[in-house]
């Protein structure tokens, strides 16, 4: 069967997103693309995403028809990457000037697509701005595809204030269905008066636990290596991990910390390491593609993600890095923010109060010095996440959710 005939047999799904891989192996979070490419068996998937310097051209990628839109001269298209929109705006206020063209360019691409292609459903990742774009264009157009909006956390927690909450409520009330990536986010929706029980479902993003993020018996696990993986932004809490390393080293002199990631806090974090005189104990690896991450998790003794609530209110919606670590059989220490409990609990991970140096150091030392305890914890975590967040499970649930809203409107 040729591609044209195959497209005709599948409903057309348009995906709107901000964060999306710029090229194969891009270290930017890839969960939107990972979900989209797994939906192509049931949908003709078209992704409308921002262009960036060095990004691949528009075209077919892993079965997804990717449309990259420009919103500024290419050198200035820096609103999304290296930290995310919220962090980039806080660090560089001039980037507020990019917001209008960023939103309007994505809206224009969707408007043109709606008027030249039969679109059965839209999946808007993030309430703002993608959810708002989709809701407004559906109201303005005589073509009204089904609409699923997914909140990943930053859009819900960090975008605060009266008018932001008004817009969030507007989007949710006008969407056909809404998903959040952890149950904790439902509490925030209720707090701002945006929770609609008949519309809101908890659906996490997934992790490839069958082929990629799994234990590898060929890799020897270290006895003293701590690992951090993630964007170097405030809500990840890395500064607090660096600050407790002297306390950890008092009890475990051979301990060392490997940091994998990139982001706007890198210069100040490196200075923090230098101020503590820990350059020989803490290594910044930089950004790594997803394909190389399993080896870090498989080798590390303990994975540490000391999540905190940022000054802006932003916090983790789910914390997929913890799931990746658990999938690889690495025991996990987490900052006790609500989203961290989405899939793990105290039976299979160590939780510490955010910003509590003594609790964080004690949890790390306990796991470093108790091999049997950490192996037991890791085994329980692996068993727990494998049942809930492998991409095979997650993509099937999202496909069913999208099918449901399409059928409800037909």
pLDDT tens-digit readout, 326-372: 999 999 999 999 888 878 889 999 999 999 999 999 999 999 999 99
Pairing assessment for the beta strands 302-305 and 332-335 based on DSSP bridges: parallel
**Homologous superfamily of the 3-206+390-409 domain (CATH):** Glycogen Phosphorylase B; (3.40.50.2000)
Q: Has residue 313 got a pLDDT over 70? A: yes
Q: Has residue 1 got a pLDDT over 50? A: no
Query: What is the domain partition of the chain in residue ranges?
Result: 3-206+390-409, 225-386
In 3D space, the residue among 258, 306, 302 whose CA is nearest the CA of residue 284 turns out to be: 258
pTM for the full model? 0.90
409: confidence class by pLDDT, cuts 50, 70, 90: confident
319: confidence class by pLDDT, cuts 50, 70, 90: confident
Higher pLDDT, 143 or 60: 60
Taking domain 225-386, whether its CATH number is 1.25.40.10 is answered by no
Predicted pLDDT of residue 338:
87
| CA atoms within 13 A of residue 349's CA, in its CB half-sphere | 30
Predicted pLDDT of residue 340:
85
Q: How far apart are the first and last CA of the chain?
A: 26
Q: What is the mean pLDDT of the chain?
A: 93
C-alpha span between 157 and 164 (Å, rounded): 11
Q: At what angle do helices 266-276 and 238-251 cross, to 10 degrees?
A: 20
What are the tens digits of pLDDT across the range 145-201? 999 999 998 899 988 899 999 999 999 999 999 999 998 899 999 999 999 999 999
7: confidence class by pLDDT, cuts 50, 70, 90: low
What are the tens digits of pLDDT across the range 109-141? 999 999 999 999 999 999 999 999 999 999 998
What are the tens digits of pLDDT across the range 194-239? 999 999 999 999 999 999 999 999 999 999 999 999 999 999 999 9
**Same fold? 3-206+390-409, 225-386:** yes
Predicted pLDDT of residue 357:
95
93: confidence class by pLDDT, cuts 50, 70, 90: very high
Average of per-residue pLDDT across 61-75: 97
Report the percent of the chain where pLDDT is more than 70. Answer: 98
317: confidence class by pLDDT, cuts 50, 70, 90: confident
**CB neighbours (10 Å) of residue 97?**
12
205 burial level (CB within 10 Å; 0-12, 13-18, 19+): buried
Do 61 and 40 form a contact (C-beta atoms < 8 A)? no
């Amino acid at each position: 069967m040729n591609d044209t005939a195959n497209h005709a047999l599948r409903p057309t799904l348009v995906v709107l997103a901000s964060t999306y891989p710029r090229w194969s192996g891009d270290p930017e979070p890839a969960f939107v693309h990972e979900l989209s490419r797994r939906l192509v068996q049931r949908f003709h998937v078209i992704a409308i995403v921002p262009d960036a310097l060095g990004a691949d051209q528009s075209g077919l990628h892993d079965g997804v028809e990717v449309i990259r839109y420009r919103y500024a001269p290419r050198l200035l298209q820096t609103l999304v990457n290296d930290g995310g929109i919220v962090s980039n705006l806080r660090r560089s206020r001039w980037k507020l000037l990019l917001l209008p063209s960023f939103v309007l360019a994505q809206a224009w691409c969707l408007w043109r697509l709606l008027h030249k292609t039969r679109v059965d459903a839209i999946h808007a990742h993030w309430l703002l701005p993608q959810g708002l774009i989709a809701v407004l264009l559906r109201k303005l157009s005589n073509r009204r595809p089904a609409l699923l909006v997914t909140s990943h956390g930053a859009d819900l927690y960090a975008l605060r204030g009266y008018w932001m909450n008004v817009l969030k409520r507007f989007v949710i009330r006008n969407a056909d269905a809404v998903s959040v990536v952890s149950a904790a986010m439902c509490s925030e929706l209720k707090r701002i008066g945006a929770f609609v029980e008949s519309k809101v479902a908890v659906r996490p993003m997934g992790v490839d636990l069958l082929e990629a993020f799994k234990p590898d018996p060929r890799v020897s696990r270290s006895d003293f290596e701590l690992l951090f993986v993630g964007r170097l932004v405030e809500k990840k809490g890395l500064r607090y991990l660096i600050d407790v390393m002297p306390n950890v080293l008092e009890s475990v002199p051979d301990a060392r910390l490997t940091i994998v990631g990139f982001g706007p806090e890198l210069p100040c974090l490196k200075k923090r390491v230098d101020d503590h005189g820990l350059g020989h104990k803490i290594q910044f690896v930089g950004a790594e593609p997803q394909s190389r991450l399993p080896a870090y998790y498989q080798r590390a003794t303990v994975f540490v993600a000391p999540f905190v609530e940022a000054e802006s209110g932003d916090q983790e919606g789910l914390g997929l890095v913890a799931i990746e670590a658990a999938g690889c059989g690495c025991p996990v220490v987490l900052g006790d923010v609500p989203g961290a409990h989405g899939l793990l609990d105290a039976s299979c991970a160590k939780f510490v109060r955010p910003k509590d140096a003594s609790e964080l150091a004690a949890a790390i030392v306990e796991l470093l010095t108790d091999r049997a305890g950490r192996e037991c914890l890791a085994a329980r975590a692996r068993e727990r996440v494998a049942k809930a967040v492998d991409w095979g499970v997650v993509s099937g649930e999202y496909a069913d959710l999208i099918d449901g809203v399409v059928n409800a409107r037909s």
